[in-house]
Amino acid sequence: MALQDKYAELIQSATSLGVSGLSVAEQNAVLHIAGTTQSTADYDSLWALYDKIDPGMNSGDLVLNLDIKADAGAQLKVTTDSTNLNIRSTPSTEGEIVGKAAHDEVVTLVEKTDDSWWKIKTVNGEEGYAYAQYLSPL
């Protein structure tokens, strides 16, 4: 089975969700899919679909490189299930907690430090790093 056939549902879903800059290329028996999702929910749904197609993502035949659309100054919504989001002094769970953002609170993106940690600022002026999975562009 060709890799684009194996991951056809994932590619179609990325297209349907409007992933910008969508790139699909096979190289050395590995399929590379890259692009920018419009929201954290889209990002999460594509990763969940990948896990459905390849449980545990054990095949090693796909590199999924997705970013979430958000630029410095963008307004982000805290999308935790119901708890506060910790804001840390460094982009790590080892960093000291320097503040908290409430569930559904709107914060401002200062910078995308990496795919996992974004530097944010609350309306109260608390600034630090938060886990990007719990932030969604408005």
Segment 16-34 shows an average pLDDT of 94
Task: Tell the CATH superfamily of the 75-137 domain.
Answer: SH3 Domains (2.30.30.40)
Residue 1: what pLDDT? 65
Res. 116: pLDDT tops 90: no
Residue 83: what pLDDT? 92
- Which value, in Å, is the radius of gyration of the alpha carbons in the chain? 17
Residue 117: what pLDDT? 93
**Among 69, 73, 54, residue whose Cα is nearest residue 111:** 73
Percent of the chain with pLDDT over 90: 72
Residue 130: what pLDDT? 96
* Top-tier CATH class for 3-68: alpha beta
Residues of the chain with CATH 3.30.460.10: 3-68
Directed axis angle between helix 8-16 and helix 40-53, to 10°?
170
Residue 91: what pLDDT? 94
3-state class of 91 per DSSP?
coil
Q: How far apart are CA 24 and CA 110, in angstroms?
A: 30
Residues of the chain with CATH 2.30.30.40: 75-137
Strands 62-68 and 117-121: unpaired
**Among 30, 26, 32, residue whose Cα is nearest residue 59:** 30
Reported as a single tens digit per residue, the pLDDT across 48-82 is 999 999 998 888 999 998 888 878 888 999 999 88
